[in-house]
Amino acid sequence: MLGVSTMPVREALLKLAALGLVEASPNRSFRVVNSTKEDTRDSYWMQSVLVGELTRRACSLEGPKLVPELESKLAAYSAAADAGDDVAMEAAYGEFYRAINLAAQSPRLLFMLRTNLRFVPIRWYPRIEGWIPLSKAAHKTIITAFKRADCEQAATIASIHMIQAGELLIEYFESTGRWSTSQ
């Protein structure tokens, strides 16, 4: 139907299975693996560790020099949120952390973060009550820490923000019936 032979599709599915995103059955079928609350919590914990360290490194390398760019990204995020533009809001949110991640000058940590982000559902945040004010407050506090070159504070706030994001997402999924109470 799509004009693709079975071998590239099977290879792609096997790669997804190696990542833990699908499960290969002995009868050569595949199914998407369900994620649990604990899977999500684990992914956000790992993200918090990586983002915290990347933030610490970016602050120590760039500190106050990065502030104008971070303020610009936060302003774009706030404007998109105020306009109800979910796509622009997600883009600006990503750009805020992209600026930090690149300033950290740590390709290996960035690779690990990108790998972890495959397991983190992202397109839900605009729907989650409390997400926008939480993000604005965290980003403002991170910027303030960068202004003061308080790298430990910046790292701590970034880490806490990731944990809080995960918990908000879990609460959202629970409220919409995504997980039963046994997960």
Please, which pLDDT band fits residue 22 given cuts at 50, 70 and 90?
confident
Q: For 92-151, write each residue's pLDDT tens digit.
A: 999 999 999 999 999 999 999 998 888 777 677 777 888 899 999 999 999 999 999 999
Phi, psi (deg, nearest 5) at residue 4: -115, 135
CB neighbour class for 110 (10 Å; exposed up to 12, middle 13-18, buried from 19) = middle
How many domains does the chain fold into?
2
Residue 108 resides in a domain: yes
Residue 31: the pLDDT is 82
The CA dihedral of 95, 66, 74, 117, to the nearest 10 degrees, is 30
35-60 average pLDDT score: 94
Residue 182 resides in a domain: no
pTM of the model: 0.83
Are 96 and 110 within one domain?
Answer: yes
Strand partners, 23: 31
Residue 180 resides in a domain: no
Residue 96 resides in a domain: yes
Q: Is the dihedral of CA 114, 55, 161, 91 positive or negative?
A: negative
β pairing state of 30-32 and 22-24 = antiparallel
Q: Is the pLDDT of residue 62 over 90?
A: yes
Q: Is 9 strand, coil or helix?
A: helix
Residue 147 resides in a domain: yes
Residue 99: the pLDDT is 98
> Quick one: tokens of 41?
């919590």
Residue-number span of the structural domain to which 114 is assigned: 37-175
Are 68 and 6 within one domain?
Answer: no
> Quick one: tokens of 67?
């502030």
Are 18 and 77 within one domain?
Answer: no
Could you tell me which of 97, 104, 93 has the C-alpha nearest to residue 132?
A: 93
> Quick one: tokens of 76?
């774009």
Question: Rg of the chain's alpha carbons, rounded to an integer?
Answer: 19
Q: For 157-183, write each residue's pLDDT tens digit.
A: 999 999 999 999 899 888 888 765 554
Are 69 and 18 within one domain?
Answer: no
Phi, psi (deg, nearest 5) at residue 104: -70, -20
Residue 115 resides in a domain: yes
Are 9 and 62 within one domain?
Answer: no
Are 56 and 11 within one domain?
Answer: no
